[in-house]
Amino acid sequence: MKSEGFRQPFIAQGLYMTSPDLAQTIQEVRDKALEELQGLASEEELESWRILYLGRRGRLTSVLRSLGSLSQEERRVVGAQANQVKALLEESLAQAEGQVKESRIAGLAQEEQIDVTRPGRSVALGRFHPLTQILREICDAFVAMGFQIVEGPEVEWDHYNFELLNIPRDHPARDMWNTLWIDYRDEKGEQPMLLRTHTSPMQARTMERMKPPVRVIVPGKCYRYEATDATHEWHFYQVEGLAVDDGITFADLKGTLYEFARRIFGADRRVRFRCDYFPFVEPGVDMSIDCFACKGQGCRICQETGWIEILGAGMVHPKVLEGVGYDPSVYTGFAFGLGPERIAMLKYGIEDIRLFYSNDLRFLRQF
Amino acid sequence: MKIPLSWLKEFVDINIPAEELAHRLTMAGLEVGEVITIGGWENCYVGYVEKVERHPNADRLNLCTVSTGNGTQRVVCGAPNVAEGQKIAFARVGATLIDVHTGKSATLKAAKIRGVVSEGMVCSEKELGLGEDHDGILVLPEDAPLGMPLTDYMGDQVLDLEPTPNRSDWLSVLGVAYEVAALTGTKVHEPEVFYPEEGNPISSQARVFIRNPDLCPRYTASIIKGIAIGPSPRWLQERLQRSDVRPINNVVDVTNYVMLEYGQPLHAFDYETLLRSNIMVRRAYTGEVMETLDGVTRVLNSSHLVIADDRDARALGGVVGGIDSEITDKTTDVLLESASFDPTNNRQTAQAFHLRTEATIRFEKGLRPGLPAVALRRATQLIQQVAGGTVAKGIIDAYPGKKGDTSLLLTSERIKKVLGVEFPMDRPREVLTSLGFDCREEGPSALRVTAPYWRSDIAIEDDLVEEVARIIGYEAIPTTMLSTPIPANEPQTLRNFREEVRDLLVMEGLQEVISYSAVSLDMLKRARTADDDSSLLKVANPMSGDYQYMRPTLRASLLRTLASNLSHQADSVSLFEIGRVYLKREKDLPSEPETAAGLFYGPRSSEGWLGSGDRYDFYDAKGVVEALLRQVGVAGGFQPSDDPFFHPGKAASILANGSLVGILGEVHPLVQESFEIDGGSVVFFELNLEKVFEAVPQERRALKPLARYPSSIRDISILVDSSIPAARIQSVIENQPLVERVLLFDAYEGKGVPSGKSSLAYRLYFQAADRTLSSEEVNKSLAKVIGLLEREVGASLRGGEEVQG
Ligand SMILES: [Zn+2]
C-alpha cells in the first residue's frame, strides 16, 4: 500500500503562491500521482486515486483553483501546463482501469473456466427426405432450361396411362408395365381405373390442355405390381419430361439430356445414347452415363459395362400427337422419363431402394 | 432368346468378334445380355477309337487305343458305350475338364488305374460341360475330322438376346441376321429350300376351311407320309439345346427349329387322327372341351379360335396343340401347319388360359402373313431330311385375309424434321436395303419403301426414320440445345405453396419422411379412421394386404413410421410428411388433396448432460402449426375436437377463415397402444394443404410500416373460470384499438387459486402509429380492457403493473 502520503495536507500553506512555485507544485503532483498509480491493482484503489488527484477537491483541482492569484500571463502558461497534466493523469487512469479490468476477468477465468470439449446443447435440425432433395435438384436442372413443373393424378384412367400413349389393350407392350388396378368397374364391366405406372399420362393431359409450345416436367409417384428387392420397388417416383413444338428434333433431345446429366452428375460426365423401345416414342432412346465410380473401366455399380443407364426417352410418337389433336406433320417433340431413386442411389451410394420408404431415421438423418 | 453364333453364321457372314457384335446390336436396340462361350477345351481333340480291350485287372474297365491323327494313346475307360470305330472327344493330359464328382474344373493328370497307365480320357458330355449326361462317353459323328481341336469342331458362342416387345423378328435367327448384316456391312443368305414332292397331290388328302378370316387370315399346310419318328440328329438337338429348347422327337424338333430360325411357330398334327382329313379353323363352341398338350382339359367358348377336324377341336390356334392329335412314336403321317393368327385374340386366349407359350410370344406381336408359307417349306424340307417320308405334292394355302403389301414414303425432309440432320438419300437407302427393305426412288429426296415379310413393326414413316437413325448410330446425330421459344409461364401456385410448407416444416426442426401411399384396413382401424372399407379406394391386386387401400389420411403412415423407429430410436422424434391422400368419388377418379402431417414424441431435445428438457406436448404441435399458418399469412382458429383418434379433451380442429383445414392433438392412448408405441404420448397434426391454400390471402406480404414510436407495456393478472377458452380472452383484449399485441405469459391452476378457476397473466403492448402514447392514455385503455374482461368473460383482476419496455 502506497497510499499513506495521501492523507498529508499538501497545500495547506495555500493561496498565495508565485508562478514558479505553482509550476513546481504541479510537477510534483504529476510525479507523485503517476508513481502511486503504478502499484494500484483494484478498481476501488483506482477510484480513491481519482478522487485524490482528479476529484472536485483533488490535489490537481486545488492547484488549478489557485491559478486565480496569478497574473494573466502566468495564468496562461501555468494553466496550460496544469491542463496537460490533467489530461495525462486522466489518460493514465483510463489505461490503468483497462488493465485492472482485463486482469480481473483473466482472474475469473481461473475460477469459471468451462470444459469446451463437452458436447453443445442439442438443436433439433429439420431435414428434407433425400428424394425431396434429388427431385428438387432434377427439377431445377430442367427449369433452368425453360421447362415448367406440372403435376397430375396418381390414380389414373387406363385411357391416359395406356390408350393415349399408343399402348392399346391386349398389346404385348403392356407387359412392360405390371399394373396395380383399382377395384372399380364401369357400366361396361371393365376395370378402367389404375395407379399410374409412369408419369407419362401427363404427356397426354398436358397436351390436351395446352397448345404448343409445350415444355414441361412432371415429378410424381408411380406404382407397379412388382416384387420388391434391392433395386425394385412397387412404389417409386418418376420425373417425366416433354417438349413439343414445330422444330424440335432428336438432336435437341440429345442436347437437353446431355446438359441434364452434366448438371446432376458433373461437367466431365460422358453420355451414351442407344436405341430402345417405348410404344409412345419413335425413335426410342436409352441414355447412359459413364460410370463415375470406375471412370468407365467396369465395376460392380455399372455391372462391369462402364455405363449406367439412367433414363428412357425418345421422339414423341406421331400417334400420341394425333391422339391429343396435334398435327404430327407440323409438331414434333421429345419425351423422357427418369427415376429419381436410381439417381439418388448413384449419387449417394445407396445400395437398397427400399431404404427410401422404410423411413429409418438413422438413414434419413444422413442427408 | 438365345442364338448360337454358329447358327447365325449360316445366315450371315460375321467378320467381327462376338463381343463387338454384341455391343453393336445393343446400341442398335437389341440388347445382348451376355455372350456365353461353349468350348475353350484346351488339349481336347476329335479322336478315333482304334481298339478296345478288356482291362487286365478290372472287369468293368476297358483299355482303349485312341488315335488323334499323330500317334496313339492308351487310356482306361469305364464307359459301357465305348466301341471300336467311334469318333470321340479325347482329352490329353493337361486338359481342364469338369470333375463329375465335385462339379468343378480340374486339370487332367496321367494316372495309373489298376496298374495300367492312362494317358488321357475319353470324355462324357458332363465332363465337357455340355450337359448332364455321364452314363457314357460322348460319341461324335463319323465325319468329325480326326485330330481337330475340339473347340474348333464343336465350340460355339451363344448370344443371349433381350428383344424389345415390338420386334417379333428378333425372336428369330433370320431377323437377327439382317440386323447383323446392316450393322456390319455384310449380306444375308437365306437357306435354299428344296425337297422332292413325290406323294399324291395335297388337295386330294386334306382341305382347309377358315370360318373366321379375321382371326386367321392365312393357313398353309403340307403333308409328309411314312416318316420314322425318332430322336433328332445331334446337330439339330444341339442347336435347340443351345437355344434353351428341349429336344422331343425329330418332327416336333423341326417345328421348333424353324420357329427359332424364321420366327414362325408351326404345329404338326398326326394326320391319322384328323377326322375326314378336314381342317376347320373356327371359333370354339361354348362348352367345347379339349385336352391340351400339357394334359389339362380346357373348357372353351366362342372367344377362342380352334383348329378342328370335322368334329373336334384339335388345337388352340396359335397357342397350344391338343393331346389327341399329338405326334407320338407311332405317328407315320404328319400334317404340318403354318398359319397367321390375329395377335389380339391370340393374346387374350393365351392369357385366359395362362398359357404363355413360345407360339403366343410370337403371334401376339403380329406376324406378317408372308411368313407362314416360307417357314412351311423350310420345315417340310427338314422333316423329310431328318425323319424321311414322302412329301405330298404342293401345299395348302388358304389365304382369305390377303392384302397387298403396303409401302411407305420416306422423305429427306421428314428425316431432317425428326432427327435434325440431313442425309443424301443414298445413306437411308443403303441402310434400309441392308435390313431387307425394298426401296425405290421417288424423286431425288424420297424413297418408296416396302418392309420385308419378317418385319411386323413398320407402320409409319417415322418407323423408317428410326431404322435409319439406329443403324447409322445415335452418336452420328448432332447434339443441339432447344432453340424453340420457351412457353409462357403458368404459375403453379398450389405446388409452390406446398413446397413452401415443406421448407417451413424443415425450418421448424422436423425431419421429413415419405411413406407408402397405400395402407391396410387394419392399420386404418387401429388409427380409428375407418370402420370398414366402404369409403376407401381399394386396390384390386395389391402387392400384399399391407397395401390394399389408398390412404385417406397420413395418420397410420406416421404412427407406423414412429413405431418402426422406436426399437432403435428412443430419443426425441419430430417428423413430418407431405403427401397425397386419396378420397373416393363416385364414378370418377378420387380427389388427391395434398396433405401435411407431423408428429412429436419423446423429450423436446436430445438427452445429454445438459438435460433433455420436458416432453413434447400438445402445444409443441400447436406452436408449429401456428408458426406455419402465420408465415403463410393465414389467421388460424382452434376449437376443441372430439375426433376419436385423439385423447379426449386434448385435440383441436384447425380452422382458417371459418372452415376446417386440419386437426391436431395428443394421440389417443389406446390408438398409441394399438401401434405398439409406449413410453409417453405422441402429438400429431394434419393439415389439408389445399384448404389452407384457399385461406391464404391473395395479396400476401404487403409491408406494414415499422412502428416509429415506442410502445408501452402493461402486465395484468386475472382470475377466470377455467371453462373460458383463452382464445376468447385474447380476442377481447386484442379488440381494443390501442392494443397492438397481447401475450399470455403465465397460466396457473392449483394451490392458491380457487378450484374451477384459472389464473392467467397477460402482457399487453400498447402502441399508436402516429405518436408516443402518454401514460394516461395507456392507463385509460388498460382500464377499458379490464372492464371488458370483467363484463364479457367474468374475469377478476388479481394485479397489474407497468413494465419498463
Ligand atoms: Zn463402374
Distance from CA of B267 to the nearest CA of A (A): 22
Distance from CA of B605 to the nearest CA of A (A): 6
Domain annotation covers residue B489: no
What is chain A's alpha carbon radius of gyration, rounded to the nearest angstrom?
43
Is there a single domain that holds both residue B110 and residue B178?
no
Domain with residue B760: its CATH number is 3.30.70.380
Max distance between CA atoms of chain B, in angstroms, equals 133
Helix axes A130-143, A250-265, angle to 10 degrees: 140
Is there a single domain that holds both residue A201 and residue A306?
yes
DSSP code per residue over A111-162? HH---TTSPPPP----B--HHHHHHHHHHHHHHTTT-EE----SEEEHHHHT
| Amino acid of residue B799 | G
Output the CA angle B99-B104-B109, nearest 5 degrees. 45
Q: Tell me the residue length of chain B.
A: 805
Is there a single domain that holds both residue B360 and residue B247?
yes
Q: Tell me the residue length of chain A.
A: 367
Chain A residues 53-92 with a CB less than 8 Å from chain B: none
Is there a single domain that holds both residue B515 and residue B658?
yes
- pLDDT tens digits, one per residue of A275-305: 999 999 999 999 999 887 788 888 887 888 8
- What is the band of B115 on the pLDDT scale with cuts at 50, 70, 90? confident
Q: Do B417 and A332 touch (CB under 8 A)?
A: yes
Is there a single domain that holds both residue B391 and residue B412?
no
Asked if residues B373 and B258 have their Cβ atoms less than 8 Å apart, the reply is no
For B687-710, give the secondary structure using H, E and C. Answer: EEHHHHHHHCCCCCCCCCCCCCCC
Single out the residue of B380, B300, B301, B305 nearest to residue B347, CA to CA.
B305
Is there a single domain that holds both residue B150 and residue B80?
yes
Domain annotation covers residue A6: no
Domain with residue A252: its CATH number is 3.30.930.10
Record the cell numbers describing residue A183, joined without a space: 377395384
Q: Do A123 and B605 touch (CB under 8 A)?
A: yes
- What is the band of A146 on the pLDDT scale with cuts at 50, 70, 90? very high
**Integer Cα distance of B728 and B731 in angstroms:** 5
Secondary structure letter of residue B393 according to DSSP: B
The helix or strand, by DSSP H or E, that contains position B796, with its residue range, turns out to be strand B796-803
**A-chain residues within 8 Å CB-CB of B509?**
123-126
What is chain B's alpha carbon radius of gyration, rounded to the nearest angstrom?
42
Sign of the torsion angle spanned by Cα atoms B8, B9, B15, B19 = positive
Domain annotation covers residue B27: yes
- pLDDT tens digits, one per residue of B23-61: 999 999 999 999 998 888 888 999 999 999 888 888 888
Distance from CA of A146 to the nearest CA of B (A): 6
Overall domain count for chain A: 2
Asked if residues B103 and B50 have their Cβ atoms less than 8 Å apart, the reply is no
Residue finishing a domain among B345, B379, B398? B398
**B-chain residues within 8 Å CB-CB of A364?**
511-513
**Integer Cα distance of B462 and A282 in angstroms:** 6
Residue finishing a domain among A82, A111, A140? A111
Q: Do A128 and B347 touch (CB under 8 A)?
A: no
| Amino acid of residue A77 | V
Secondary structure letter of residue B189 according to DSSP: -
**Taking 60 as the threshold, does the pLDDT of residue B503 lie above it?**
yes
Asked if residues B667 and B681 have their Cβ atoms less than 8 Å apart, the reply is yes
Q: Do A146 and B610 touch (CB under 8 A)?
A: no
What pLDDT was estimated at residue B802? 66
What pLDDT was estimated at residue B15? 92
Contacts of B294 (CB under 8 A, 6+ apart): B320, B355
Is there a single domain that holds both residue B132 and residue B165?
no
**Taking 60 as the threshold, does the pLDDT of residue A11 lie above it?**
no
Report the separation in Å between the CA atom of A292 and the middle of ligand 1, taken as the mean of its atom positions: 7
**A-chain residues within 8 Å CB-CB of B510?**
126
- pLDDT tens digits, one per residue of A106-135: 888 778 888 888 888 878 789 999 999 999
Is there a single domain that holds both residue B540 and residue B635?
yes
Is there a single domain that holds both residue B329 and residue B461?
no
Give the Cβ contact number of residue A325 at 10 Å. Answer: 9
Q: Do A275 and B506 touch (CB under 8 A)?
A: no
Give the number of beta-carbon pairs within 8 Å between A and B.
240
Asked if residues A93 and A45 have their Cβ atoms less than 8 Å apart, the reply is no
Please state whether beta strands B313-316 and B320-321 pair in parallel, antiparallel, or not at all (unpaired).
antiparallel
Which of A129, A251, A279 has the CB atom closest to B419's CB atom? A251
Secondary structure letter of residue B263 according to DSSP: S
Report the separation in Å between the CA atom of A129 and the middle of ligand 1, taken as the mean of its atom positions: 27
Is there a single domain that holds both residue B70 and residue B137?
yes
* Most confident of the ranges A70-74, A293-297, B761-765: B761-765
Secondary structure letter of residue B12 according to DSSP: B
Is there a single domain that holds both residue A138 and residue A64?
no
Is there a single domain that holds both residue A84 and residue A144?
no
What pLDDT was estimated at residue B70? 80
Report the separation in Å between the CA atom of B748 and the middle of ligand 1, taken as the mean of its atom positions: 66
- What is the band of B705 on the pLDDT scale with cuts at 50, 70, 90? confident
Q: In what order do the strands lie in the sheet with B796-803?
A: B739-748, B757-766, B712-721, B796-803
B-interface mutation test, from A188, A285, A286, A361, most B Cβ less than 10 A away: A361
Domain annotation covers residue A70: yes
Record the cell numbers describing residue A228, joined without a space: 420388391
Asked if residues B553 and B643 have their Cβ atoms less than 8 Å apart, the reply is no
Asked if residues B322 and B293 have their Cβ atoms less than 8 Å apart, the reply is yes
- pLDDT tens digits, one per residue of B772-800: 999 999 999 999 999 999 999 999 888 76
Please state whether beta strands B278-283 and B207-210 pair in parallel, antiparallel, or not at all (unpaired).
parallel
**Taking 80 as the threshold, does the pLDDT of residue A6 lie above it?**
no
A244 among known catalytic residues: no
Is there a single domain that holds both residue A81 and residue A169?
no
Residues A158-183 have a mean pLDDT of: 92
Is there a single domain that holds both residue A185 and residue A283?
yes
Domain with residue B139: its CATH number is 2.40.50.140
Is there a single domain that holds both residue A240 and residue A340?
yes
Strands (E), A256-323: 271-275, 281-290, 307-316
**Integer Cα distance of B470 and B474 in angstroms:** 6
**Integer Cα distance of B362 and B578 in angstroms:** 46
Does any CB of chain B come closer than 8 Å to the CB of residue A7?
no
* Most confident of the ranges A6-20, A239-253, B110-124, B740-754: A239-253
Give the Cβ contact number of residue B59 at 10 Å. Answer: 6
What pLDDT was estimated at residue A3? 43
A167: left (phi over 0), alpha (psi -120 to 50) or beta: beta
Domain annotation covers residue B125: yes
Domain with residue B670: its CATH number is 3.30.930.10
Report the separation in Å between the CA atom of A290 and the middle of ligand 1, taken as the mean of its atom positions: 8
A224 among known catalytic residues: yes
* Residue in the structure block whose three cell numbers are 382500464: B783
A234 among known catalytic residues: no
What pLDDT was estimated at residue B486? 92
Q: Do A247 and B608 touch (CB under 8 A)?
A: no
Is there a single domain that holds both residue B162 and residue B237?
no
**Integer Cα distance of A320 and A256 in angstroms:** 21
Percentage of residues in chain B with pLDDT exceeding 70? 99
A-interface mutation test, from B161, B341, B363, B474, most A Cβ less than 10 A away: B474
**B-chain residues within 8 Å CB-CB of A207?**
none
Record the cell numbers describing residue A57, joined without a space: 477537491
ipTM of the complex: 0.88
Record the cell numbers describing residue B291, joined without a space: 385336352
**Integer Cα distance of B50 and B84 in angstroms:** 6
Alpha helix (H) residue ranges in chain A: 19-38, 43-54, 59-65, 72-112, 130-143, 158-161, 201-209, 250-265, 318-323, 340-348, 355-358, 361-364
Is there a single domain that holds both residue A35 and residue A155?
no
Domain that holds residue B782: 712-803
**A-chain residues within 8 Å CB-CB of B566?**
none
A24 among known catalytic residues: no
A198 among known catalytic residues: yes
- pLDDT tens digits, one per residue of B192-249: 999 999 999 999 999 999 999 999 999 999 999 999 999 999 899 999 999 999 999 9
Q: Do B509 and A173 touch (CB under 8 A)?
A: no
Which of A121, A146, A182 has the CB atom closest to B539's CB atom? A182
Which of A193, A213, A357 has the CB atom closest to B484's CB atom? A213
A177 among known catalytic residues: yes
More confidently predicted of B33 and B276: B33
A-interface mutation test, from B364, B417, B458, B497, most A Cβ less than 10 A away: B417
Report the separation in Å between the CA atom of B631 and the middle of ligand 1, taken as the mean of its atom positions: 47
Reduced to 3 states (helix: H, G, I; strand: E, B; else coil), residue B152 is: helix
Distance from CA of A215 to the nearest CA of B (A): 7
- pLDDT tens digits, one per residue of B428-480: 999 999 999 999 999 989 999 999 999 999 999 999 999 999 999 999 999 99
- pLDDT tens digits, one per residue of B118-164: 888 999 888 888 877 778 898 888 888 999 999 888 889 999 999 99
Give the Cβ contact number of residue B791 at 10 Å. Answer: 10
Which of B480, B487, B516 has the CB atom closest to A213's CB atom? B487
Output the CA angle B680-B684-B688, nearest 5 degrees. 175
Q: Which residues pair with A214 in a beta bridge?
A: A244
What pLDDT was estimated at residue A8? 43
Is there a single domain that holds both residue A28 and residue A98?
yes
Q: Do B466 and A118 touch (CB under 8 A)?
A: no
**Integer Cα distance of B100 and B206 in angstroms:** 52
Overall domain count for chain B: 6
**B-chain residues within 8 Å CB-CB of A307?**
none
Report the separation in Å between the CA atom of A360 and the middle of ligand 1, taken as the mean of its atom positions: 28
Single out the residue of B395, B406, B414 nearest to residue B438, CA to CA.
B406
A213 prior amide bond cis, ω within 30: yes
Output the CA angle B206-B207-B209, nearest 5 degrees. 150
- Phi, psi angle pair for B484, to nearest 5°: -80, 160
What pLDDT was estimated at residue B570? 64
What pLDDT was estimated at residue A273? 96
**A-chain residues within 8 Å CB-CB of B490?**
148, 150
Q: Do B27 and A150 touch (CB under 8 A)?
A: no
- What is the band of B330 on the pLDDT scale with cuts at 50, 70, 90? very high
Give the Cβ contact number of residue B69 at 10 Å. Answer: 13
Chain A residues 144-173 with a CB less than 8 Å from chain B: 145-146, 148-151, 153-157, 170, 172-173
Helix axes A72-112, A19-38, angle to 10 degrees: 0
**Taking 90 as the threshold, does the pLDDT of residue B117 lie above it?**
no
Q: Do B479 and A258 touch (CB under 8 A)?
A: yes
Single out the residue of A350, A301, A154, B594 nearest to residue A360, CA to CA.
A350
Report the separation in Å between the CA atom of A309 and the middle of ligand 1, taken as the mean of its atom positions: 12
- Which of A177, A196, A324, A344 is labelled catalytic? A177
Is there a single domain that holds both residue A149 and residue A105?
no
Q: In what order do the strands lie in the sheet with B407-411?
A: B407-411, B446-450, B438-441
Is there a single domain that holds both residue A77 and residue A189?
no
**Integer Cα distance of A193 and B368 in angstroms:** 34
Does any CB of chain B come closer than 8 Å to the CB of residue A110?
no
What pLDDT was estimated at residue B491? 84
Residues B155-183 have a mean pLDDT of: 95
Domain annotation covers residue B512: yes
Chain A residues 254-283 with a CB less than 8 Å from chain B: 254-256, 258-259, 272-277, 279, 282-283
Is there a single domain that holds both residue A289 and residue A141?
yes
Is there a single domain that holds both residue B554 and residue B642?
yes
- What is the band of B177 on the pLDDT scale with cuts at 50, 70, 90? very high
Reduced to 3 states (helix: H, G, I; strand: E, B; else coil), residue B608 is: coil
Report the separation in Å between the CA atom of A6 and the middle of ligand 1, taken as the mean of its atom positions: 89
Domain with residue B464: its CATH number is 3.30.56.10
Instruction: Choose the weakest-confidence range: A153-162, B4-13, B83-92.
Output: B83-92
| Amino acid of residue B29 | G
Domain that holds residue A343: 130-364
Is there a single domain that holds both residue B498 and residue B601?
yes
A-interface mutation test, from B344, B423, B431, B484, most A Cβ less than 10 A away: B484
Residue finishing a domain among B368, B398, B428? B398
**Taking 80 as the threshold, does the pLDDT of residue A165 lie above it?**
yes
**Taking 70 as the threshold, does the pLDDT of residue A14 lie above it?**
no
Q: Do A358 and B509 touch (CB under 8 A)?
A: no
Domain annotation covers residue B484: no
Burial of B36 by CB count in 10 Å (0-12 exposed, 13-18 middle, 19+ buried)? Answer: middle
A-interface mutation test, from B25, B514, B587, most A Cβ less than 10 A away: B514
Distance from CA of A193 to the nearest CA of B (A): 8
Domain annotation covers residue A79: yes
* Residue in the structure block whose three cell numbers are 391338343: B322
Distance from CA of A171 to the nearest CA of B (A): 7
Is there a single domain that holds both residue A50 and residue A174?
no
Domain annotation covers residue B192: no
What pLDDT was estimated at residue A10? 45
**Taking 50 as the threshold, does the pLDDT of residue A12 lie above it?**
no
Distances (CA, A) of B266 to B232, B320, B391: 17, 10, 17
Record the cell numbers describing residue B421, joined without a space: 440432320
